[in-house]
Structure 1
Amino acid sequence: MSKIAGVIPFKAKPGQGADVAQALADALPHVEKETGTPLWMVLHSEVDPDCVFLVDLFTDEAAREAHMKGDAAAQIFATVPDLLAEEPVIHPAKTIAHKGI
C-alpha cells in the first residue's frame, strides 16, 4: 500500500457543512477516473456539523500532483470556496499505520 496521502479539513460557514460535504462528494465521478487515487473519502464531522474532511490516498507523489491539477480538484475549487468560513489548508501526509486498503 502507498504511504502517499492527503488530508484537507474544510470549515464551512455556519449551517453549510452539509452543502460543503455534498459539493465535495459531487467530484467523485472525476476521482473514479484517476487510477492513481485508490482511496478518496469525504467525511462529515458528527461533532462539528460545519467541519468536513477530505482524505485521499495516492499510488505515488506523481499521482498526488496529478490529482491536485485534475478535474476533481478544479470542480472543488470552483464550487466550494463560497461555502467556506476560511480557506482550507492542504495537508500532504504520509501513512504511518492502517488497516484495510
Structure 2
Amino acid sequence: MIYHITDKATWLKASGSKNFKAESLDTEGFIHCSPVDKLLKVANSFYKEHTDLLILSIDESKVKSKIIREDLYGHGFEFPHIYGELNLDAVIKISDFKRGENGSYVLPDKI
C-alpha cells in the first residue's frame, strides 16, 4: 500500500473521470506518494499551510501507470512515484487528514 496526500478540491476534480491527475504530474512528471511511515513527516514538512487534506490509500497492484521508488531529493529514503495518471480504481480508501491540538497532522486510526 502506498499513499498520496491531496486537498479535497483537487480530488473533487477527478470525480466523474477514471483517473486522478495531481499537479506534480505536470510540473515534475510524476505523482508523489509515500509509505505510511513517512506520511506525517511529508505532511508536516510540505503541507503546513494547507487545509482540507485527504490521504488516498492506493493498492499498488492495481495502479496502471509505472511506479518507481527513488530518492530524487537526497532524503536518504526512496519514495514511490507514479509516472502517469492514477486510475481511480486503485484508490481503495480516502481518509481525512486532520491536525492534532498542537497543529501538526496526525494519522487517522485506520487508513
TM-score calculated relative to the size of structure 1: 0.30
Structure 1 or 2: larger helix share?
1
Q: TM-score w.r.t. structure 2 length? A: 0.28
Q: Which has the higher contact order (CA 8 A, sep 6+)?
A: 1
